[in-house]
Amino acid sequence: MSDVQDIRSIIEEQIETLRRRNKEPEWVTKMRYRGLKAFLTAPHNDPVLSNPLEFVVGHKEKFPEVKTLEDLPPEMRALLDRLGIAEVEKKYVAGLAVQSDTNIVLNEFLKSWGARGLEVLSMEDAVKKYPALKDKFMSLFSPEESKLAAYHTAIWNGGVFLRVKKGLKIPMPLHLFFLIQNSAMAQAPHIMILAEEGSEIHLIEGCTSPILVRHSLHLDMSEIFVGDGAKVKLSVIQNWPEYVHTRPMTRAKIGKNAEFINTTVGLGTGKSNIASPKYWVDEGGYVELNGIILGQKNYHVDLGGEMLLRGRGSRGLNATKSVIMDRATVITRGLIRAQAPSTRGHISCDALLMGPDARMETYPGLISEVDDAELSHEAAIGKIREEELFYLMSRGLREEEATQLIVKGFLDPMLKDIPMEFVVEIKKIIEMAVGGGM
Amino acid sequence: MNELLTIENLHVAVNGNKEIISGLNLRIGESEFHVVMGPNGSGKSTLALTLMGHPRYRITHGRILFMGEEIASLTPNERGRRGIFMAFQQPKVVDGVRIKDYLTLLLTKVKGMDPLKTGKIIRKTLREVWFSEDILGRYINEGFSGGEKKRFEILQALLLKPKLLILDEPDSGVDIDSLSLISSKLRKMHGEGIAVLLITHYGRILQHVDPRILHVHILREGRIVMSGQEELVERIEQEGFRKIFEECGCNE
Ligand SMILES: Nc1ncnc2c1ncn2[C@@H]1O[C@H](COP(=O)(O)OP(=O)(O)OP(=O)(O)O)[C@@H](O)[C@H]1O
Ligand SMILES: [Mg+2]
């Protein structure tokens, strides 16, 4: 397992399997081999995962093939039901795309919006359909920057390509769930969003499904291109089992006067390092990175995010709120670089420490390369305030009830962009976590 | 008259050993109306917070009985559930907690009410104390004006219907009209059989209350130094505490 030659041949075999299965264009396979080469030499700088090699070999597990929502495994259906998605789906025909290996399960909503210019393809289909993606694919990342980026490049599988046509505004959020089946590899979906000029879309990724998948490494990569004047919201809800290592990699280019709001809700985050996000913001553009983290047990969450304010008047906000329990550790490392005049950036980091062994570290970085940028940061790390607890308890609420209320309240302002049915579910999970034996 | 609250030789300390209440005695019978007045810093809020079980105030001596049972070892919520309610002099902001969720939780968890029935009662009570329904989406006391905070305390008392209502200066920072409203709500609640312990500096809050029923106490340095009836309120307003204390020899 430790032998480099072995690693090389294992990855090579994985690449060849994907190449044959997908019948992919040559440039894709070439890119995969570039990833393999980089994997052997690229630096490994992950603060949590000491040996990336042990994740290279996946486990073989089979799931029944999924063509419609009815074919989903019972656990997944139960989950969707719990989230109220199935109901919403029936009632409002809101969008729900389930990614299952290389097939996208489309529903009526997506089909009807498809006619108006919303294109949703599996990533595998997209690279075949659009040769021009050669210039976009892996343009915001480089396989050589780290072993994990390299490994993703080599074996990416699954994922979604989403294109919103110029000026098209989609009023309701589109839900996307990942379900990887028949896969012998690490879960490594590649997601690309092209929001053309003036378009609007809100995408919700529910990364709750991998309870089905026993892989312990989840390596998804998202490349997002927000066209001039476009607005994109990406809300990612993670609820992983503890043994999963997640390394979501998200980067976005934000055009002139465009807006990108990226919210991550990490309820079950296990061992994750979300340290690589990067956002390039053009003139008048705005980026917001919101992190909501529930740290439990021995979770270790390392949350980064670099914003490059390179256009005049561009703005960035990086805000996290963490609730940390047990022996969990949460680290935030937001970085904002002001590279153009009249730019503004703010980093805020709030944490509620729920026990003596809970740990929070924050390292805000503000770098100004111009003289009229406004950059600021604030951090508030502490316990639940005695006065608030007393106020609520004096009205007859038990300590657990009052604590739950305060914790939910602490997170509430950050949940503004999350649809109600998710907020309800998120709050339920938080209640269970902080309420103990209620 | 059955005794509801009995305070015997109470001593309370804060921050280590600083004694704030020093040998206080007070008896409140069921559905009586008591008024506590006293100079700033005499220990009025400390008394209220101690009765409610604030963890920072330590009882070093004496007893507090509520309905015949010692309550010193009970948590604030247990006291709340037994029927003690305290309206804070400075109500706390609880960020992020929406009033609708909060009040619903109070009614279902504390009063055991059917969740489907809470909405109507909450909306009706809101109107009674001049709030519009917009307030339901706001956070507890966040951005409230001084008067709004005081009316929100009264709102919660109206919903929870305690046996003993302790009010710590419900009139401070309140405009004339709201003052009249709060005074009439006090009369209403007292009329429903709720015993009242009202802490105040001014008699005006009593405008709608029958003066003949009042028991008035003056607190000085953590001890009740004088008790009387309604005319004591007027005397304080006219003469001030200094003069009264000089005349009664309370300064010794
Ligand atoms: N937590 C505390 N720590 C230190 N000192 C305290 C604390 N709480 C009260 N005190 C002190 O105890 C004394 C009584 O305070 P308390 O708030 O009970 O007065 P009060 O009678 O309510 O005054 P006011 O009319 O101004 O509201 C004051 O000297 C105050 O500074
Ligand atoms: Mg006071």
Q: Is the pLDDT of residue A402 over 60?
A: yes
List the single residue in A387, A396, A409 with the smallest CB-CB distance to B97: A409
Residue A185, pLDDT above cutoff 60: no
End-to-end CA distance of chain A: 46
Asked if residue A54 has pLDDT above 70, the reply is no
Give the model's pLDDT for residue A209.
Answer: 43
How confident is the model at residue A86, as a pLDDT? 44
- B120 CB neighbour count, 10 Å cutoff: 9
A60: pLDDT confidence band, cut at 50, 70 and 90? very low
Nearest atom within ligand 1 for CA of residue B222:
14
- Spatial contact of A314 and A282, defined as CB atoms under 8 Å apart: yes
Distance CA A322, CA B216 (A): 50
pLDDT by residue (tens digit) across B48-84? 999 999 999 999 999 999 999 999 999 999 999 999 9
pLDDT at A436: 53
| Residue A78, pLDDT score | 62
pLDDT at residue number A63: 42
Q: Which residue, among A180, A171, A178, A194, has the nearest Cα to A93 in the 3D structure?
A: A171
Alpha-carbon distance of A282 to A370, in angstroms, equals 15
Stronger pLDDT, A203 or A81, i.e. the higher one:
A203
Judged by average pLDDT, the poorest of A39-43, A370-374, B126-130, B208-212 is: A39-43
When mean pLDDT is compared across A308-312, A432-436, B57-61, the lowest value belongs to A432-436
The β-bridge partners of A262 are A234, A289
SS3 assignment, position B167: strand
**H helices of A212-355, where?**
none
Asked if residue A353 lies in contact with residue A325, where contact means CB atoms within 8 angstroms, the answer is no
Three-class SS of residue B233?
helix
Shortest CA gap B67–chain A (Å): 17
B110, closest residue in chain A (CA to CA): A396
Instruction: Tell me the nearest-neighbour CA distance from B140 into chain A, angstroms.
Output: 10
Q: Which residues in chain B are contacts of A398 at CB distance < 8 A?
A: 77, 109
What pLDDT was estimated at residue A241?
64
B43 lines ligand 1 (CB under 6 A): yes
Taking CA atoms, A194 is separated from A32, A111, A230, A252, B52, in Å, by 22, 18, 10, 10, 59
pLDDT at A108: 59
Write the pLDDT tens digit of every residue in B109-158: 999 999 999 999 999 999 999 999 999 999 999 999 999 999 999 999 99
Q: How far is CA B21 from CA B41, B50, B57, B170, B252, in A?
A: 11, 10, 10, 22, 17
A74-105 pLDDT per residue, tens: 655 665 555 544 443 333 223 344 444 444 55
Q: Contact at 8 Å (CB) between B242 and B248?
A: no
Residue predicted with more confidence, A356 or A86: A356
Q: CA dihedral defined by A42, A44, A45, A48, rounded to 10 degrees?
A: 150
Going by pLDDT thresholds of 50, 70 and 90, the confidence category of residue A321 is very high
3-state secondary structure of B132: coil
Cα separation, A347 vs A289, in Å, equals: 9
Which helix (H) or strand (E) segment holds residue B229: the answer is: none
| Ligand found nearest the CA of B40 | 1
How would residue A5 be classed by pLDDT, with cut points 50, 70 and 90? confident
Instruction: Give which of B150, B160, B162, B163 is closest to B200, Cα–Cα.
Output: B150
The rounded distance, in Å, linking the Cα atoms of A243 and A353 is 23
pLDDT at B37 over 70: yes
User: Cα separation of B29 and B6, whole Å?
Assistant: 9
Question: Residue B143, class by beta-carbon neighbours within 10 Å (0-12 exposed, 13-18 middle, 19+ buried)?
Answer: exposed
Q: How far apart are CA A319 and CA A333, in angstroms?
A: 11
Rounded (to 5) percent helix, strand, coil in chain B: 40, 30, 30
Whether A405 sits inside 8 A of B97 (CB atoms) is yes
**The pLDDT of residue A80:** 57
Task: Round to whole Å and give the CA distance between B116 and B107.
Answer: 11
Judged by CB atoms closer than 8 Å, whether chains meet at B96 and A408 is answered as: yes
CA dihedral (B67, B73, B77, B82) in degrees, to 10, reads: -10
Task: Tell me, rounded to whole angstroms, the distance of Cα A224 from its chain centroid.
Answer: 12
Q: Which residue of A has its CA nearest to B77?
A: A396
Element (H, E) at A265: strand A259-268
What pLDDT, on a 0 to 100 scale, did the predictor assign at position B181?
Answer: 96
Domain map (residue ranges) of chain A: 4-275, 385-438
**Which amino acid is present at B153?**
E
Q: Please state, for a pLDDT cut of 90, what percent of chain A lies above it.
A: 50
Phi/psi at A326 (5° precision) = 50, -130
- Burial pattern A401-431, b for ≥16 Cβ within 10 A else e, equals bbbbbbbbbbbbebbebbbebbbebbbeebb
Out of A235-239, B30-34, B150-154, B226-230, pick the least confident: A235-239
Q: Please determine, for residue A429, whether its predicted confidence score (pLDDT) is greater than 90.
A: no
Q: How is residue A210 annotated by DSSP? A: G
Helix intervals (H) in chain B = 44-52, 76-82, 99-105, 115-128, 146-160, 176-191, 230-248
Q: Show the DSSP H helices in A65-116 as ranges.
A: 74-82, 85-92, 108-114
Degrees, nearest 5: CA angle A82-A86-A89: 140
- Which of B46, B50, B95 is best to mutate for the A interface (most A CBs within 10 A)? B95
ipTM higher than threshold 0.90: yes
Nearest CA to ligand 1 atom 9: B46
Q: Do A395 and B80 touch (CB under 8 A)?
A: yes
Q: Which residue of A has its CA nearest to B76?
A: A394
Secondary element (H or E) of residue A73: none
Q: Report how many helices (DSSP H) and strands (DSSP E) chain B contains, helices first.
A: 7, 12
Which residues from chain A sit within 8 angstroms of residue B92, using beta carbons? Answer: 387-388, 390-391
B17 lines ligand 1 (CB under 6 A): no
Distance CA A64, CA A74 (A): 11
Which of B84, B92, B110 should be substituted to probe chain A, the one whose Cβ sees the most A Cβ atoms within 10 Å?
B92
* Contact list, A390 vs chain B (CB under 8 Å): 52, 54-55, 76, 92
Backbone φ and ψ for B128, nearest 5 degrees, come out as -60, -35
